[in-house]
Amino acid sequence: MRAGTRPSAGMVVAYLALAVYAAISLYPFAWMVSGAFKNRLEILEGGNLIPRSPTLDTLVDTWGRLNFFDYFLNSLKVTGLTVLGVLVVYSLASYAFAMIEFPGRRAIFWFFVALLFVPSITVLLPLTILESRLGILGTHIGLVLPFVNGTAPLTVLLLTNAFRAIPRELHDAARADGAGEVRIFLRVYLPLVRPTLITVAVLTAVPTWNEYPLSRVSLNEESRYTLPLALEQLASGNVPSYNEIMAGSLILVVPVIVLFLALQRYFVNGLSGAVKE
Amino acid sequence: MTAYLTETPPAAARPKAAVKRRARRKTRQWLVGYAFIAPAVVLFLVMGLYTLGYSVTLSFAKWNGFSPSWDWVGLKNYHDLLYADPRLAPEVQRAALNTGVAMVAVSAGTVLIALPLAVLLNSIRRLRGLLRSVYFLPYVTTGIAVYYAWRYVLEPDGAINLALRSIGLGSLARPQGFLGDPDTALPALIVVMIWGSVPVAMLLYLAGLQAIDPSLMEAAAMDGAGTVRRVRHITWPLLVPITVAIVLLSLRDTMQGFQIFLIMTNGGPAGHTEVLGLKAYQQAFMQSMSPTLGVASALGWLIFVAALLLAVLNARLLRGTR
């Protein structure tokens, strides 16, 4: 509040209420950070939010000795490949849905969108059976392919709308200049939908990074574990220690939080766009 | 077509060639279109359609995942789940009840928190951006890491119990921890789910509120409309479709989501947090050798049918409010 202008009582109450919910929003994170900086003894006492003797040992230990660095790289690989796959496969498809006339276009488009209503639990089991037949169960590709396919409804919806929003004259002018569809797609249209591509990338990256059920039932070799699985393994050990679990959790959430803070505006646009459909 | 013909004077030979060329160009265009969608379609045929078909077929059979052949049982899996099996049907009913309770509580809680939050956030100038980011963190981090953090604070000696004792509300503390106590396990999970679904709801409300034209409000105020009337006739009609969308979104997410249950309680204590998605997961992956894969698929499809009904309801309601 600026000096001189007295805040009204209503404003004080508003800020107070907002501050309370901010605290609730941050509550588990505060304890996550607190736990990650406690040692094995202090974690057992619970209670104090601020560690008496904050230590980096737990984090260093989890990162190094417990191999979280390797799991981090695995997660990065799976998430990176999924995002790449989604961008390539569905920007091509969405461009065709928006710009190219061909028989069955509408039907196929709506088919993709209708898949939004299939719960993941319904296909989880047959997916693992299919993958074990194809020999990709338990590999990172075995995760990436269904992850990419799983984003289809939302991604196709967002990208097709983005392509449709570009004036068609641009397409026809490029055609008249003798450019082929591939060239128009790559040179003219793809750069114009860049914001939507980033939105799609972040909306894909976050759930993929956090994904647990499919990874759990398919990965069985420890060297291929992603962070969520590594965390679960840590927690289901004989003597699970919450300081290590919180350190692992922190390693898992920090990259997502950084990504979110850097690309916040794309999240907001994407989510409001997705729900409007 | 006709315009093209009239523009080309030597009418005898040209049209045929032109039509042919056009047809060829059209076929070419179709092929280009199909080539563009081919990767997406192939991926869907393999990862999507095949698994869906397989799952439907399996729901009419009994199989343990290892034996070479399936035993066809027709609709028996569905009958067993819904009423026939004396052991399974009550479990499914209980899980359905818990799922229903969670669906209603989560969507109601989400609206009741997100709407006032958005209204307040919309009324302030300072710190709005910062607060919005803070409120949004639960959404981006939702998953196993956050669930463990909640488990940590809900433990018998966790932060929440200790806080309650230290402020003299020790009677509210739960000696077995909130997740270990049959009375508080489901409510605790519901609170965590609301915590996770408020961000998107708040964001949608905020976007809706910001879309209201301020000059409309000013005009109404000048015409003598008080706050109550302005809210009732301008703000509320705009927020109704958003509320419908939010409610249906969280109904769907709660019905299909089982991750939080799997990680935080795995259905316990003594089945008090059993839900349909978790039940299907257990039947599919935690029965080792018993032939429950068909039942698991059938349950998956029952959840699908429920999701579809919700989607139809969604479309109906949204059309009604527009």
- Spatial distance between the Cα atoms of B211 and B216, rounded to a whole number of angstroms: 11
Cβ atoms of B65 and B293 within 8 Å: the answer is: yes
What's the token pair of residue B161?
Answer: 């119990």
pLDDT digits 0-9 by tens, B40-89: 999 999 888 888 898 888 889 888 877 777 888 888 889 888 888 888 88
Q: Which of A25, A32, A95 is the closest to B134 by Cβ?
A: A25
What phi and psi values does residue B225 have, to the nearest 5 degrees?
-80, 125
Q: Chain A residue closest to B128 (CA)? A: A18
- Spatial distance between the Cα atoms of A254 and A250, rounded to a whole number of angstroms: 6
**Mean pLDDT, all residues of chain B:** 85
Question: Is the pLDDT at B11 greater than 70, yes or no?
Answer: no
Contacts of A31 in chain B (CB under 8 A): 149, 152-153, 159
Q: Do A93 and B117 touch (CB under 8 A)?
A: no
Chain centroid offset of residue A194 CA = 18
Bridge partners for B61 per DSSP: B72
A149 falls in which pLDDT band (50, 70, 90)? very high
Q: Chain B residue closest to A128 (CA)? A: B51
- What pLDDT does residue B253 have? 87
Q: Do A21 and B113 touch (CB under 8 A)?
A: yes
- Spatial distance between the Cα atoms of A48 and A45, rounded to a whole number of angstroms: 8
CATH topology of domain B76-321: MetI-like fold (1.10.3720)
CA-derived radius of gyration, chain A: 24
Q: Which of B140, B245, B280 is the closest to A260 by Cβ?
A: B140
How large is the ipTM? 0.88
Q: Domain A68-276 classified CATH 1.10.3720.10? A: yes
- What pLDDT does residue B66 have? 75
Q: Does A149 touch chain B (CB under 8 A)?
A: yes
Q: Where are the domains of chain A?
A: 9-59, 68-276
Q: Which of A28, A124, A209 is the closest to B146 by Cβ?
A: A28
SS3 B62: strand
Q: Does A225 touch chain B (CB under 8 A)?
A: no
A277 falls in which pLDDT band (50, 70, 90)? low
More confident residue, A102 or A65: A102
Contacts of B281 in chain A (CB under 8 A): 121, 124, 213
Cβ atoms of B105 and B190 within 8 Å: the answer is: yes
What's the token pair of residue B318?
Answer: 């949204």
Q: Where are the domains of chain B?
A: 2-53, 76-321
pLDDT digits 0-9 by tens, B248-274: 888 988 988 889 999 999 887 888 999
- What pLDDT does residue B1 have? 37
Name which of B99, B185, B192, B96 is nearest B143 in CA terms.
Answer: B192
Contacts of A118 in chain B (CB under 8 A): 52, 304, 307
What's the token pair of residue B204?
Answer: 């949608």
Q: What is the dihedral of CA A18, A23, A26, A29, to 10 degrees?
A: 180
pTM (2 decimals)?
Answer: 0.87
Cβ atoms of A119 and B277 within 8 Å: the answer is: yes
Cβ atoms of A193 and A163 within 8 Å: the answer is: yes
Q: What is the mean pLDDT of residues B241-246?
A: 87
Q: Do B145 and A93 touch (CB under 8 A)?
A: no
- What pLDDT does residue A39 have? 81
Chain A interface test: which of B25, B133, B148 (most A C-beta within 10 Å): B148
Question: Is the pLDDT at A165 greater than 50, yes or no?
Answer: yes
